[in-house]
Amino acid sequence: MLSSIDWENHRILHKNREKPRCTFLYRLNPCNGKWEYWPFLISLNGKWKFKWCRNFKVVPDGFYKIDYDDNTWFEIEVPSNWEIHGYGIPIYTDVKYPFSPNPPFIDKERNPAGLYRRHFTIPSSWDGKEIFLHFAGVRSAFYVYVNGICVGYSQDSCSPAEFRITDYVKIGNNTLAIEVYKWCDGSYLEDQDMWWMAGVYRDVFVYATPKLHLRDFFIKTDLDEKYQDAVLKIDMVLINYLRESSEDLCLEINVLDSENGAPVCDSILLDAGTIPPGEEKIVTIEKEIKNPLKWSSETPNLYSAEIKLFKRHNSQILESQKFNIGFRKVEIIDGQMLLNGKPIKIKGVNRHEFDPDKGYAITLDRMIQDVKLMKQYNINAVRTSHYPNDPKWYFLCDYYGLYVIDEANIEAHGMGNLLAEDPNWLEAHLDRITRMVERDKNHPSVIIWSLGNESGDGQNFVALSNWIHQRDKTRPVHYEPAGTQKYVDIVSFMYKSPKDLESFSEEIKDRPVFLCEYAHAMGNSVGNLKEYWDVIKKYKNLLGGCIWDWVDQGIRKKDKSGKEFWAYGGDFGDEPNDGNFCINGLLLPDRTPEPELSEVKKVYQYIEISPADKLGEFLITNNYSFINLNNFDCFFEIQENGLSIQRIRIGKINLEPGCSKKIQIPINEISFNENAEYHVKILFTLAKDTIWAERGYEIAWEQFSLFKKKKTFTPASAKGIELKEESERIFAGNQKMKIIFNKNSGFIESLKYMNRELLLKPLRMNFWRAPTDNDKGNKLPARAAIWRNIWEKAKVSKIKRVESDLGYKLVFEGFFKDIEKTNWELVYTISDEITVELKVNIDRHLPELPRIGIQGTFLGDFKYVSWYGRGPHENYCDRKTGAPVGLYRSTVEGMIHKYVRPQETGQRTDVRWFSISDDYGITVLVEGHPVIEFSVWPFELEDLEKANHVNELTYKNLVVVNIDHKQMGLGGDNSWGALPHPEYILFPGEYKYSFTIKVLRNFFENFQEG
């Protein structure tokens, strides 16, 4: 049964809407990087009158009429989502529909409407022209009224809707009204793991064209067998809006070099003949272009072109349109994807269009920020998950150089295969595919078409693929639910482990294998990214992947006290909701890079550096597909104990793509201290400014250990150390330092230096971490709950005292109450420093441990941190490839990352030593034997664990110090069950580590000497 209401009838997709076409209203000029707009265009962005209605029943009669009184209406900014302005609430769900699913019907009582009104002026210079309204994006369905008359209807939230309004407007003042519905039958195809928000969220224009108009064109480029010379083919659609035939029409096309504006070939002239009234005509040109510069993400060469439509007999120019051309060829040969004859790898991300203050109304500045960040972090591709993006995004990708997997606005995730198999829904699917392809077909950055996302598999998708292959033979088609079926050109998977990916690559040889989603970046995640790329680089048919996803979808909100936080599902009283499952980004909502992004940059880098046979000899491999390494400056840096002691410019290395060469670094000329540790870091920086980063920006690096210092032991002074024992405690120390041990727990419960207490809480065993989102997803908090607050379960069974020239040694042997077959030993060697050794033996039947370490709470005065280990950003055992060993300084607050949902944060690995210091010259120095992990927080573990948002995390006047042997990995294959890889899990067994604590005065005054 079909509804009489348009917005719940899947057979009614539009009324009076123009056919789709390519974007021609603006372009990004490749010559100067400036935007150029159609000369007969008026933006209708800005303030509109607005009224929100809870459903269609309360929409006021005649609100669209010219004389309707809207003085009581509020104003709203267009483009925007109305929920951002407080009208209704945003709802976040992953799969569940926010209404009771019964396609194509919508719960009419709960379907809000937004009414918009504004006036606009048609200038007299537009008299005699055709006039159109252009809506770049309206969610989800809307009616358009001009001067009190209904002009049309459209749905599909992410593709332009244009209406010819020539017969409805007049020169001078006109009234425009829009009636927008939050949900419609099309919403069943927009279940896209994002906030459900509504409104006019992209640009609105009114524009005019001549009566004889170049309505559309399709640019195709092909390359010869040597990938040198090109054939340019342009199919052009002319339309005649006149009431009589138009004769004697000609077209002239000029292709210009973007550097100097010079023609790259002779003008192309074409006779367009006669076009009957009200009809269209397709005319085609083909032209050979000798050896044009090719377009790729590495070399985004664009040419500027112009089409002129004119009358042959008098050379009168009727219309002129400018556009960009990128010469490139996409192929799949022997299961490998080639661009311009060269293999490429997709080093990509998935990107939702999202802004924390504007919802899905993305500004041009925000787009530029995104594309520059992607380039800076070695990302070369973006999947427009899960819908066509704002048209301006594609011009930026063309210009800056990003590959685009352009995805149709189709996701019926909550419906399974139902709509994919229903022939009655074919037109609804096909409408979205055709509008995407027709709009974006001329962008060289678009190298893959995606049929949509997670909408099941069925005959409708076979039909969609067939249509694309018939319309555009220059690009392959991807659709993950299709699996290995022949209607797709790329076999795609989601969230497969590196091991599984390797198996698939060996089974599937005829097509590229692609991870359209992988490395789920929810919260503190993206472990084992290197392991993925070790596999991807190994197999030719592995195309690469797109990390899920680019930016956390958190909405800026304030609590009752005025503190800001990032809101996620449920924070607006929205039901149903999926909580913080929208917080999966490599960036915070405001585009602050998260620590994972540094790992991505390192793993995605194109230059491979490895040690060769001789000392100081290194093999450099250029893994770019199109550029020589002479675009970069190469340096090497020698570090002694983490400090740079020498940095020398090697210069530019002339190395073609796919080639390797050895370089020699004069290691033998360096004088090494046998009591120091040395590293060499080889790095590459931009040799000149680019449009996305300045000269000197580091693009690739690798670090190698040269010499490790000899293991030496200098006994600390034990002079003056006294030991005293009471019933519950043991006292040890000298005039400077005094320590109290608890005989029941074995922990240090007091540490005084010069009679000043440094500890607020004991140095005690800690095997727990504030669960990450991945931990929650794999049920670690329940499975490993036995390790929570382990210090409360630690009981001493035996104490031994040993006295020697090196000081006193206290040995506490113990067990964990209510945990069978476990034991531990804490050994303290006391002199004018404290050496701590922890041994634990955990029975094999017990669950894995989140961490093994000792935690202490120090005075809040110790607000400065230094360390010699990996940094500067946080790093973990399975996410440390992008963190070089060095000497770093920070503050306690600077050591943590403020994840949208607070969780484990701030770890540093491979740490030789770290210190915390105060303003009075007192430093607590901790040295690993040989290395440890550590973190410091200005709050306590229980605070971190119970907070749901950053505003709930209270910073206290204390410093929590975690001195860890190890912490388990983060994982990231997915966030709903996958564990970290086995090599990064702390399985039950025997563990042992040690470190030394020293309390020093004026440590940093002699920092260089020390």
Q: Which pLDDT score is estimated for 671?
A: 85
DSSP code, position 312: T
Among 517, 596, 599, 640, the one annotated catalytic:
517
- The residue type found at 101 is P
Burial class of residue 760 in the structure, from the number of CB atoms within 10 Å of its CB (0-12 exposed, 13-18 middle, 19+ buried): middle
- Is 1009 a residue whose pLDDT tops 50? no
Residue 3's pLDDT band (boundaries 50, 70, 90)?
A: confident
Q: Which pLDDT score is estimated for 1005?
A: 55
- Is 1010 a residue whose pLDDT tops 70? no
Phi, psi (degrees; rounded to nearest 5) at 569: -55, 130
Give tens-digit pLDDT for 726-767. 999 999 999 899 999 999 999 999 999 999 999 999 999 999
Residue 832 belongs to domain spanning: 722-1006
**How do beta strands 885-891 and 958-967 pair?**
unpaired
Structurally, the chain folds into a number of domains equal to 3
Q: Are residues 702 and 804 in the same domain?
A: no
pTM of the model: 0.96
Q: Are residues 692 and 762 in the same domain?
A: no
Q: What is the CATH number of the domain that holds 933?
A: 2.70.98.10
Quick one: how far is CA 203 from the chain centroid? 24
Residue 393, in any domain of the structure: no
Long-range CB contacts (< 8 A, 24+ apart) of 783-789?
783/847, 783/848, 784/847, 784/848, 784/849, 784/850, 786/819, 786/846, 786/847, 787/847, 787/849, 787/850
The last residue of a domain, from among 209, 235, 266: 209
Cα–Cα distance between 559 and 752 in angstroms, integer? 40
- The residue type found at 738 is K
For residues 709 and 334, which has the higher predicted lDDT (pLDDT)? 334
Give tens-digit pLDDT for 244-303. 998 889 999 999 988 777 888 888 999 999 999 999 999 999 999 999 999 999 999 999
Q: Are residues 754 and 900 in the same domain?
A: yes
Determine contact, residues 386/285, Cβ cutoff 8 Å.
Answer: no
Give tens-digit pLDDT for 119-156. 999 999 999 999 999 999 999 999 999 999 999 999 99
Residue of 206, 212, 311 whose CA lies nearest to 252: 311
Residue 618, in any domain of the structure: yes
Q: Which pLDDT score is estimated for 584?
A: 97
Residue 442, in any domain of the structure: no
Q: Dump the DSSP string for 671-694.
A: PPPTTS-EEEEEEEEESS--SSS-
Give tens-digit pLDDT for 588-623. 999 999 999 999 999 999 999 999 888 889 999 999
Mean pLDDT of the chain: 95
Q: What is the CATH number of the domain that holds 180?
A: 2.60.120.260
Q: Which pLDDT score is estimated for 266?
A: 84
The last residue of a domain, from among 209, 227, 262: 209
Share of the chain above pLDDT 90, in %: 91
Residue 803's pLDDT band (boundaries 50, 70, 90)?
A: confident
Beta-ladder partners of 331: 338
**What is the pLDDT averaged over residues 643-648?**
93
**What is the pLDDT averaged over residues 216-231?**
97
Q: Are residues 700 and 726 in the same domain?
A: no
Three-class SS string for 508-536?
CCCCCEEEEEECCCCCCCCCCHHHHHHHH
- The reply to whether omega before 79 is within 30° of 0 (cis) is yes
Residue 735, in any domain of the structure: yes
Q: Which pLDDT score is estimated for 730?
A: 96
Residue 1004's pLDDT band (boundaries 50, 70, 90)?
A: low
Determine contact, residues 392/435, Cβ cutoff 8 Å.
Answer: no
Q: Are residues 634 and 752 in the same domain?
A: no
Lowest mean pLDDT among 731-740, 803-812, 906-915: 803-812
Q: Which pLDDT score is estimated for 937?
A: 98
Give tens-digit pLDDT for 402-426. 999 999 999 999 999 999 999 999 9
Told to judge if 803 belongs to the known catalytic residues of this protein, a careful annotator would answer no
Q: Are residues 673 and 773 in the same domain?
A: no
- Is 806 a residue whose pLDDT tops 80? no
**What is the pLDDT averaged over residues 870-885?**
98
Q: Are residues 753 and 864 in the same domain?
A: yes
Angle at 130 between CA 126 and CA 132, to 5 degrees: 100
Q: Are residues 946 and 1002 in the same domain?
A: yes
Q: Are residues 772 and 921 in the same domain?
A: yes
Residue of 793, 850, 783, 799 whose CA lies nearest to 822: 793
Give tens-digit pLDDT for 197-219. 999 999 999 999 999 999 999 99
Among 454, 531, 702, 833, the one annotated catalytic:
454
- Is 1007 a residue whose pLDDT tops 70? no
The secondary structure element, H or E, covering residue 649 is strand 643-651
Q: Tokens for 812? A: 């506490």
Q: Are residues 769 and 825 in the same domain?
A: yes
Beta-ladder partners of 703: 681
Q: Tokens for 99? A: 């209404």
Q: Which pLDDT score is estimated for 434?
A: 99
> CB count, 10 Å around CB of 257?
16
Residue 398, in any domain of the structure: no
Told to judge if 792 belongs to the known catalytic residues of this protein, a careful annotator would answer no
The last residue of a domain, from among 209, 233, 263: 209
Residue 312, in any domain of the structure: no
Residue 1's pLDDT band (boundaries 50, 70, 90)?
A: low
Share of the chain above pLDDT 70, in %: 98
Residue 554, in any domain of the structure: no
Q: What is the CATH number of the domain that holds 671?
A: 2.60.40.10
Q: Are residues 701 and 727 in the same domain?
A: no
Burial class of residue 198 in the structure, from the number of CB atoms within 10 Å of its CB (0-12 exposed, 13-18 middle, 19+ buried): buried
Residue 600, in any domain of the structure: no
Cα–Cα distance between 220 and 235 in angstroms, integer? 8
Q: Tokens for 362? A: 């993305």
**What is the pLDDT averaged over residues 499-509?**
93
Q: How many helices (H) and strands (E) does the chain have?
A: 11, 63
Q: Which pLDDT score is estimated for 1008?
A: 45
Q: Which pLDDT score is estimated for 688?
A: 97
- Is 370 a residue whose pLDDT tops 90? yes
Q: Are residues 685 and 736 in the same domain?
A: no
